[in-house]
Structure 1
Amino acid sequence: MIALPAFRTLLIAATALGLSFSAGHAADDFDLGPQQPGRLHAARNDAAIAAIPKDFKFVTPGKLTIAVSPGGPPLATYATDAKTVIGADPDYAYAIADSLGLTLEILPVAWIDWPLGLTSGKYDAVISNVGVTEQRKEKFDFSTYRQGLHGFFVKSDSPIASIKEPKDAAGLRVIVSAGTNQERILLRWSDEDVAAGLKPIELQYYDDEAASLIALHSGRADVIVQPHAQLVFIAARDKNIKRVGTLSAGWPDRSDVAIATRKGSGLADALTIATNGLIRDGTYVEILHHWHLTEEALPSSETNPPGLPKY
């Protein structure tokens, strides 16, 4: 997640290095205003509506109450009015509500609080970049709507053109956050490189996103690996980094992001049907394209697919 203190630290450090990291640059690529005139509306999906259990009780009758964590653009953030939640996840929530013939009610929550709030019935579902894991499936149902991707990004003038597999990263200095899934995967990549007679990957750790970007631009590191969506926004904002590859959160398998609902509530199948309807009619990919996240598109939605295993 992108935190406001990190932005402030970044601006101070960037000024010292002569770098331009103004949030205003993102206006050319992302509309962060509260009105959101480009938001798409979806058609009513009778099959999805019919799949809602007759005994399911919405938090507010006639409304779909969705919890969203405004952690940072382009997934979800506060608009320029500092109160309206906008982004790819809210837009997707609006489309799902349209499909179900309901009015959307967005409830901003801290990401760490969504499991308790969902279990206690404060909202009907969570649409907030929640990855499917086997541990979470014990308590929640899931309807997938996006791939969980991490991005490999380098300086715009870097000679590195593509990172798709372990050998492409051999010997590179890669910035990654400690204790993350991407760190776990990159350690496995490095082991594979060494076993193949190649140089290991040198992992670097910094306290925050600001320090990571400064390290990349100062030449102390070659690559930064973070959740893909975060880096897409930074690339659009700063105009000085580029994507050279993506990494599935479930490498070597695909790992998906999903709508979370209460276990056994019966709502997941309706949401899966609604998502597949949005995929078929093109609304889904238009939403992702609008927020520069086309790479994260799924071919179809599934209810409770295999998730990341317990480690």
Structure 2
Amino acid sequence: MSFVPHRRTALPALAVASVLALSACGGGADADAPAGAKGDSGFNTSPDQDRIRAEAVPEIAALVPEEIRETGALTVGHSSGGAPPLTFYADDDETFIGVETDIAQLVSDVLDLEMDTQATSWENLFLSVESGQYDVAFANVTVTEERKDLYDFATYRVDTVSFETAVGSDLTEVTEPADIAGLSVAVDSGTNQEEILLRWDEQNQEAGLEPLDLQYYQNATDYYLALQSGRIDVYLGPTPSVSYHAQVSGETELVGTISGGGEIKAEIAAMTLKDNGLIESLNAAINSLIETGEYQEVLDRWAVDAEAVSASEINPPGLPRE
């Protein structure tokens, strides 16, 4: 079965508010903590981020196209939906923070450019890169063969998704389709993980197993309430966001992690307009950061180290076309 050519849907703003509320009153960050402090979750959600920074590398900065170098800034697009710890608003509801923002800052540093962060809807993100309004998107974008028609990619994370259950659930491990046969599973519509579940359900039914009951909700608050009430058995979502919620809330846990492409390797990448000349500098900057260690520091900071790559690649094989 073919893959949906869209990235995994980010958690809506309401979901972010819910997660951060849990961190303030459910064993997470202390609501009265001073700026820059960390709660029990270990994550800093204040606007005072004290980000990890990198030194400029002149030979890599020289690879940046002249029209961008002349502006003195790298215009970086993020999805405004928010999905901690990927990209989301800090406690001031204004400052964009997260692993994607931190990686973009490091790349801007290496390229000797200021980072100009812009947030927009997921759909508009691609149009803004295509039009040249944004130089690059750092927004948990999965490389697909269809997207490579219009965009160039420089990878910086492995794409994984995870199964999440309520603490104490009878479902303790998911490693193959049969593990979830007959269960009620929540998933975001039009995502890579939905396609995985559709394929798994087809395999289960061909093997004579019970079909899945796929459930769709408008926001994370709804599917987490459904999980706690027992209306659904399990949720399949992006590993960083699932892990963040489980750690901050203490009410859920991960019971299985697979590739964002299911049986196929999937990768997250910086995305820029095809053939605009920027991809070589982005790739070189990421590889430099991997070498010098700041890349790993950022992933460790946001507990996304399991998705680290040993090297950035330009336009690797992407998820297949439909």
Q: 1:158–1:97: structure 2 CA closer, same or farther, 3 Å change rule?
A: same
Task: State how far apart, in whole Å, the 1-side matches of 2:157 and 2:75 are.
Answer: 20
Supply the AA of the counterpart residue of 1:22: L
User: Residue 275 of structure 1 contacts residue 301 of structure 1 at CA under 8 Å; is this kept in 2?
Assistant: yes
Instruction: Please name the residue that 1:14 is paired with.
Output: none
Q: Is residue 80 of structure 2 the alignment partner of residue 41 of structure 1? A: no
Q: Is residue 33 of structure 2 the alignment partner of residue 22 of structure 1? A: no
Q: Is residue 242 of structure 2 the alignment partner of residue 231 of structure 1? A: yes
Residues 1-311 of structure 1 mapped to structure 2, 5 A cutoff:
1-6=10-15, 22-24=22-24, 25-27=27-29, 28=39, 29=41, 30-37=43-50, 39-53=51-65, 56-58=66-68, 61-72=71-82, 73-311=84-322
User: Residue 14 of structure 2 contacts residue 221 of structure 2 at CA under 8 Å; is this kept in 1?
Assistant: no
Identity of aligned residues (%): 38
Q: 1:111–1:206: structure 2 CA closer, same or farther, 3 Å change rule?
A: closer
Q: 1:103–1:147: structure 2 CA closer, same or farther, 3 Å change rule?
A: same
Aligned-pair RMSD on alpha carbons? 2.4
Query: Counterpart of 2:139 in 1: which secondary structure?
Result: strand
Supply the AA of the counterpart residue of 1:117: S
**Which blocks of at least 5 consecutive residues in structure 1 are unaligned?**
12-19
Task: State how far apart, in whole Å, the 1-side matches of 2:301 and 2:121 are.
Answer: 25
Supply the AA of the counterpart residue of 2:13: L
* Post-superposition CA distance 1:28-59 (Å, at most 9, x none): 2221111102x211233345234334xx3117
Q: TM-score, normalised by structure 2?
A: 0.84
Paired residues, number: 299
Task: State how far apart, in whole Å, the 2-side matches of 1:231 and 1:220 are.
Answer: 18
Please identify, of 195-204 and 62-71, the stretch whose mean Cα deviation from structure 2 is larger: 195-204
**Which blocks of at least 5 consecutive residues in structure 2 are unaligned?**
1-9, 30-38
Task: State how far apart, in whole Å, the 1-side matches of 2:280 and 2:299 are.
Answer: 22
Q: TM-score, normalised by structure 1?
A: 0.87
Please identify, of 198-207 and 89-98, the stretch whose mean Cα deviation from structure 2 is larger: 198-207
